[in-house]
Amino acid sequence: MSEYAATGDVLLARRSTAVTRSRRLKNRLFTGLLWACGFLALLPLAFIIWYVLIRGLSALNINFFTREPAAPGQPGGGIVQSFVGTGLIVGMAIAFSVPLGVLAAVYLSEYGRGRLASGVRFVAEILLSTPSIVAGAFIWALVVVAMGTFSALAGSIALTVLMWPIIARATEEILRLVPQELREGALALGLPRWKVILRIVIPTAGSGIFTAIMLAVARGMGETAPILLTALGQEFLSTNPLAPADAVPLRVYDYARTPVLSQHAMAWGGAIVLLTAVLVLSITARILGNRQRGRVR
């Protein structure tokens, strides 16, 4: 303002205040719009959690976790076979995908240079975009059709297809955070490379790797489509890995689409358990991950 007054160009000064006002208004509007986006994004999360809570809590009781389903329309019963099945399938998937993923990550961060490494990194990244139904169809064609039966094992292999690249990429990022000086120091003391990796690098990144696994497990646990195509689901308890198995998401999916009201309640019960488990895993992984990043750096 003062410089305009100094030049005596009062007209210009007035005009510029007018422009400033409209610019400021635009800026306000814009900022308001951004806040509206933030609000809009949180709305569905709040609604989903709220409804799952109020509908799901009433379905939870001891029978829900310990009994097999009652006949449709009958009171009582639970979905114990789904919990056992999820445990079985996800457990086997962890057993397969953790060594595969962590070792692939070791290659990418410790050895990987040049074309091969960037090729593998590229493939791992686009594998993350494989639609989960495709992983299911793939294992259905490869394992289920060959074995002649749906099975918990096939389900866990389908989950492995999804979890392997997740663990590989997430672990690689963690391993890269381990300071180079640690490796150099250990190598200078005469340790062979593989011992440096196993004894120094991996333990330093330990909790970070754990969070990578937690993220992958959270993903695997919530999957419905790949397990549907490979483990099929059923309503009685089975612990045989070579036989069809149930899983919590499968039960929710099946029961949501029946006309039986008591099964709808079970579906909400399954949803609340699933949602709680997945959210606890992802939030813990995030907190641990942030802490880890802070410590290593």
Show contacts with other proteins in window 58-97 (CB under 8 A): none
- Cα atoms in the 13 Å half-sphere on the side-chain side of 45: 6
Residue (23 or 295) nearer to other proteins, CB: 23
**Number of residues forming the site for other proteins (CB under 8 A):** 105
Nearest Cα neighbor of 273 from 134, 79, 88, 129 is: 79
**Range in contact with other proteins (rule: CB under 8 A) among 72-80, 181-189, 202-210, 272-280:** 272-280
106 binds other proteins (CB under 8 A): yes
CB of 17 to other proteins, least distance (A): 13
If one asks whether residue 130 binds other proteins (CB under 8 A), the answer comes out as yes
Helical packing angle, 248-256 and 206-222, nearest 10°:
30
Give the residue, chosen from 45, 62, 188, 189, that forms a contact with other proteins under the rule CB under 8 A.
Answer: 45
CB of 128 to other proteins, least distance (A): 6
CA distance 20 to 97: 59
Among 80, 90, 152, 252, binds other proteins (CB under 8 A): 252
CA distance 278 to 269: 14
Site for other proteins in 15-44 (CB under 8 A): 23-24, 26-27, 29-31, 33-38, 40-42, 44
276 three-class SS: helix
Helix locations, the chain, DSSP H: 2-7, 10-56, 62-66, 80-106, 114-127, 132-139, 145-147, 152-177, 180-188, 193-195, 202-204, 206-222, 225-231, 248-256, 261-296
> Within 153-212, which residues bind other proteins (CB under 8 A)?
161-162, 164-166, 168-170, 173, 192-195, 197-198
Helix (H, G, I), strand (E, B) or coil at 73: coil
Q: What tokens does 168 get?
A: 């590989």
284 binds other proteins (CB under 8 A): no
Q: Does 275 bind other proteins (CB under 8 A)?
A: yes
Choice from 93, 104, 174, 205 touching other proteins (CB under 8 A): 104
Of 239 and 286, CB closest to other proteins: 286
